[in-house]
């Protein structure tokens, strides 16, 4: 039994069938999935959801797939109560939603790809592909391998070695393009059109984006079917932030959670901050920029869902902030040394943004907040070179160790 009823233009409301469509042919607005919430409310309760296996498909009535085919271990990542970090930042109640340990490719992308890949098979695509800053390519390649799909991933040609290997190991065709993500996205839109391939984040984007809601469902469920007051979220293409808000809206519609919609706060790297700049300027649409930051996974200068992010920030009473590359690296270190979580620069940016919002008073110290950690530091460990102490080299004897200890004190 499925509960999605079709697609609809977010701008003008025109309905569309549930095919591989992503823009409205009337107004060029983005499309979104529609559901029969009354039927969902009759079919399932939050108690039933809580009793299901701990993966993203526990919310399957709220996802646009007839039959889940992959992602049976994806999602339901830890919501870590980060007390040491909270104390350091002077706030009362802070949680880290930790998708750095998402299965199988260690980023939040395993959620969106589980949904897009399942839908790609349902729609009859034989080639599954994506335009990526790195993490999406890893996830698309892994899930395609599991499903036996032909796979092409398109990435910038300057990515970290571990990010490239994290795709190549699954044996897709990895196409490293001389250009940035925005160039690749343009190229892939042309390829999708011409070759009828399923691109997770282009012609399957409407379905892909729905997978990001599971991050929001889990936050509320893991807090005991309760909302935090603030959510701090990284923004690149702008998929995740508005879908967390949409997830909270849906939980309210179903009557599974009550209370005020959390304030959504956006963080970008200063070298790639079109959304933050638009928010600060009071503009409705982001002005594209040329990205330049060490946080390569969030280096997107022309975000597909930038307008939607801005709308969500304003509707929820949130804010937006940008952080320097130095602050990003400090954020990575802070999370590691207080909570034992090693995130990549995107996560460092998010935490650094949360720190800035707490300092500015946008997030008051007594209001619960969730920081969205979306990627894993082991993939980008090169950026931390020189920022940690090297090992102490000693011989095998105890005396040498005792000498070292004595000298240290
Ligand atoms: C680790 C990580 N965090 C966050 C994002 C943000 O993506 P989006 O704004 O498209 O949801 C990405 C991907 O681009 C990512 O790889
Ligand atoms: Zn329209």
Q: Which atom of ligand 1 sits closest to the CA of residue 112?
A: 11
pLDDT at residue 179, as a whole number:
94
Q: Check if 4-69+109-208 and 79-105+212-384 are the same fold.
A: yes
* Best mutation site among 30, 96, 110, 135 for ligand 1 pocket (most ligand atoms within 8 Å of CB): 135
Which residues have C-beta within 8 Å of that of residue 401, sequence separation ≥ 6?
Answer: 394
Residue 235 Cα to ligand 1 midpoint, Å, equals 6
pLDDT tens-place values along the chain, 409 residues long: 799 999 999 999 999 999 999 999 999 999 999 999 999 999 999 999 999 999 999 999 999 999 999 999 999 999 999 999 999 999 999 999 999 999 999 999 999 999 999 999 999 999 999 999 999 999 999 999 999 999 999 999 999 999 999 999 999 999 999 999 999 999 999 999 999 999 999 999 999 999 999 999 999 999 999 999 999 999 999 999 999 999 999 999 999 999 999 999 999 999 999 999 999 999 999 999 999 999 999 999 999 999 999 999 999 999 999 999 999 999 999 999 999 999 999 999 999 999 999 999 999 999 999 999 999 999 999 999 999 999 999 999 999 999 999 998 6
Residue 281 φ then ψ, to 5°: -85, -5
pLDDT at residue 1, as a whole number:
79
Q: Which atom of ligand 1 sits closest to the CA of residue 235?
A: 9
Residue 376 Cα to ligand 1 midpoint, Å, equals 12
CA distance 219 to 80: 10
pTM: predicted TM-score of the whole model, two decimal places: 0.97
User: CA angle 4-312-298, nearest 5°?
Assistant: 95
Reading the block at residue 95, the tokens are 């949680």
Q: Considering only CA atoms, which of 187, 181, 145, 188 is closest in space to residue 166?
A: 145
Q: Which atom of ligand 1 sits closest to the CA of residue 233?
A: 4
Residue 133 Cα to ligand 1 midpoint, Å, equals 8
Q: Which atom of ligand 1 sits closest to the CA of residue 234?
A: 4
CA distance 108 to 360: 28
Residues composing the chain: 409
HEC string for the chain:
CCCEEEEEECCCCCEECCCCCCECCCCCCEEEEEECHHHHHHHCCHHHHHCCCCCHHHHHHHCCCCCCCCCCCCCCCCEEECHHHHHHHCCCCEEEEEHHHCCCCCECHHHHHHHHHHHHHHCCCCEEEEECCCHHHHHHHHHHHHHCCEEEEEEECCCCHHHHHHHHCCCCEEEEECCCHHHHHHHHHHHHHHHCCEECCCCCHHHHHHHCHHHHHHHHHHCCCCCCCEEEEECCCCCHHHHHHHHHHHHHHCCCCCCCCCEEEEEEEHHHCHHHHHHHHCCCCCCCCCCCCCCHHHCCCCCCCHHHHHHHHHHHCCCEEEECHHHHHHHHHHHHHHHCCCECHHHHHHHHHHHHHHHHCCCCCCCCEEEEECEEHHHHHHHHCCCCCCCCCCCCCHHHHHHHHHHHC
List the residue whose alpha carbon is closest to atom 1 of ligand 1.
375
Q: Is 237 in the pocket of ligand 1 (CB under 6 A)?
A: yes
CATH code for the domain defined by 79-105+212-384: 3.40.50.1100
pLDDT at residue 408, as a whole number:
81
CA distance 162 to 86: 31
pLDDT at residue 234, as a whole number:
98
pLDDT at residue 324, as a whole number:
98
Q: Is 348 in the pocket of ligand 1 (CB under 6 A)?
A: no
Domain borders along the chain are 4-69+109-208, 79-105+212-384
CATH architecture of 4-69+109-208: 3-Layer(aba) Sandwich (3.40)
- Nearest ligand, measured from the Cα of 305: 1
């Amino acid at each position: 039994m499925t509960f999605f009823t079709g697609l609809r233009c977010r701008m003008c409301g025109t309905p569309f069938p549930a095919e591989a469509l992503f823009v409205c042919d009337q107004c060029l607005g983005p499309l979104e999935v529609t559901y029969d919430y009354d039927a969902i409310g009759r079919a399932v309760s939050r108690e039933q959801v809580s009793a299901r296996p701990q993966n993203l498909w526990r919310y399957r009535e709220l996802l646009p797939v007839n039959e889940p085919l992959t992602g049976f271990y994806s999602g339901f990542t830890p919501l870590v109560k980060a007390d040491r970090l909270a104390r350091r930042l002077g706030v009362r109640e802070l949680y880290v939603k930790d998708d750095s340990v998402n299965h199988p490719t260690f980023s939040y992308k395993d959620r969106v790809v589980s949904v897009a890949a399942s839908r790609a098979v349902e729609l009859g695509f034989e080639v599954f592909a994506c335009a990526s800053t790195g993490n999406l390519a890893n996830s698309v390649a892994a899930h395609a391998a599991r499903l036996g799909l032909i796979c092409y991933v398109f990435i910038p040609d300057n990515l970290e070695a571990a990010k490239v290997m994290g795709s190549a190991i699954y044996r897709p065709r990895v196409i490293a393009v001389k250009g940035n993500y925005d160039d690749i996205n343009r190229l892939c839109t042309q390829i999708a059109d011409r070759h009828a391939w399923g691109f997770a984040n282009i012609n399957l984007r409407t379905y892909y984006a729905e997978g990001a809601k599971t991050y929001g469902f889990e936050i509320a469920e893991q807090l005991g079917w309760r909302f935090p007051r603030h959510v701090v979220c990284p923004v690149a293409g702008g998929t995740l932030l508005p879908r967390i808000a949409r997830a909270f809206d849906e939980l309210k519609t179903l009557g599974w959670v009550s209370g005020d919609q959390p304030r959504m706060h956006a963080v970008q790297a200063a070298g790639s901050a079109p959304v933050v700049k638009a928010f600060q300027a009071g503009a409705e649409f982001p002005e594209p920029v040329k990205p330049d930051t060490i946080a390569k996974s969030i280096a997107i200068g022309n975000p597909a869902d930038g307008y939607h992010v801005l709308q969500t920030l304003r509707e929820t009473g949130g804010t937006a902030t940008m952080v320097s590359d130095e602050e990003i690296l400090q954020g990575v270190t802070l999370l590691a040394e207080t909570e034992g979580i090693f995130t990549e620069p995107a996560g460092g940016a998010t935490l650094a943004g949360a720190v800035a919002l707490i300092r500015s008073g946008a997030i008051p110290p007594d209001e619960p907040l969730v920081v969205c950690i979306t990627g894993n530091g082991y993939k980008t460990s090169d950026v931390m070179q020189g920022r940690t102490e090297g090992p102490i080299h000693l011989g095998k004897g105890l005396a040498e160790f005792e000498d070292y200890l004595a000298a240290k004190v």
